[in-house]
Amino acid sequence: MYVTRVSAKSPLSRQTAAQLSRAAASFAQSHAVSTHTPGLHLTSLHIQPQQSQSRRPFSSTSRTKLREYFPEPETEQIVKTETAFEHPLYTDEQMTKNVYYAHRKPKDMSDRVALYLVRLLRWGTDLATGYSHDGPTPKDKLTGKSTAVVPSNKPYRMSERKWLIRFVFLESVAGVPGMVAGMLRHLHSLRRMKRDNGWIETLLEEAYNERMHLLTFLKMAEPGWFMRLMILGAQGVFFNSMFISYLISPRTCHRFTGYLEEEAVLTYTLAIQDLEAGKLPLWSDPKFRVPDMAARYWKMPEGNRTMRDLLLYIRADEAKHREVNHTFGNLKQTEDPNPFASVYKDPNQPHPGKGIEHLKPIGWERDEVV
């Protein structure tokens, strides 16, 4: 992406005049729409075929203030840095047929506490992000495989900007549970001088995956100072709460995260439904292309790099996290091996894995995998 910063000084120096000249050329080459917003600067990738995919022609940020949010470092020896956790391949059929909203009913007090906390967190997040989608309440959510979860006679209140506010805020804290759990299990393994049986890698990979969701959305929207402040406060409270809670009851924390991922699947299902209904025209534009980093990370094939495709991939990731954490919540925390990183005696039988070909939305029971 091209960066233009203009400094209004008088008199103009030669360097400043050159900068202004380059800025004018940049304006002439782009089609910018500018509307300043305090919470989020929308910079969706509305790309002309002949333009570089690093440009951001549509933006609600003033063109003189628009900048690359996290430019790739330029070095003499390194071309690029590969991801540490390679993402498994998802097919379009798997993402549309195997992924849907589902709710695991609480079975004991631990589950009920986890569900209540998620409901409380959902209320606070809706309030903080201004989410006002007319849909079912948490108690009246979808139980089947259909994505038609919003009544068609309700007024539409969301927009691309509002969805991105929600996505950025959610993903900024969604990577916390996996990192906290992986860190504490790592320290527990060192302290007790015992194996962790494969849990750490899966938990850290989950945190990494959630961070990639955030980085992808940050290629499309730059948070303002108010959102930065909200994210700072939310992450601080959430991290310390998860840290203490995981020390007390890891099982409850995994159940909490499983219920949290249920909400994430519902959120992305609603966004996909709105997109398919033509309510988000900027993202429905056939010239829209997802960020290059997203195409590389998810190995998105040519011709399947629309916003709908991106949301399908991210929703599938959230559904996988839902399955993983509900399954972990069913296991003995210090004894059982990680079923998602294990080799099974009968490979022909459906079993947990890194992909979504055998996705089980409410998790695998202990007797099914151990």
DSSP 8-state assignment for residue 41: E
Give phi and psi for 43, each to the nearest 5. Answer: -135, 60
Residue 31 marked as a ligand binder: no
254 labeled part of a ligand binding site? no
Three-state DSSP class for residue 266 = helix
Report the candidate in 83, 33, 87, 23 with the shortest Cα–Cα distance to residue 56. 33
- Using DSSP, state whether 310 is helix, strand or coil: helix
Distance CA 307, CA 3 (A): 24
210 labeled binding residue: yes
Pairwise CA distance, residues 210 & 175, whole Å = 5
Burial of 202: CB neighbours in 10 Å, binned 0-12, 13-18, 19+: buried
**Cα separation of 111 and 329, whole Å?**
9
Structure tokens at 58: 């549509």
Residues near 128 by Cβ (< 8 Å), separated by ≥ 6? 169, 230, 234
**CB 118 within 8 Å of CB 260:** yes
Question: What residue type is 275 in one-letter code?
Answer: L
Alpha helices in the chain (DSSP H): 14-29, 92-93, 109-129, 160-174, 176-192, 199-218, 225-248, 250-276, 281-284, 292-297, 307-328, 366-369
- Give the residues across from 223 on adjacent strands: 40
Please report, as a single letter, which amino acid is at residue 366: R
Q: Which two tokens stand for residue 121?
A: 């967190």
Distances (CA, A) of 151 to 21, 154, 308, 325: 52, 6, 21, 31
133 marked ligand binding residue: no
Q: Which residues are part of a known binding site? A: 171, 210, 213, 261, 318, 321
Q: Which residues are part of a known binding site for Fe cation? A: 171, 210, 213, 261, 318, 321
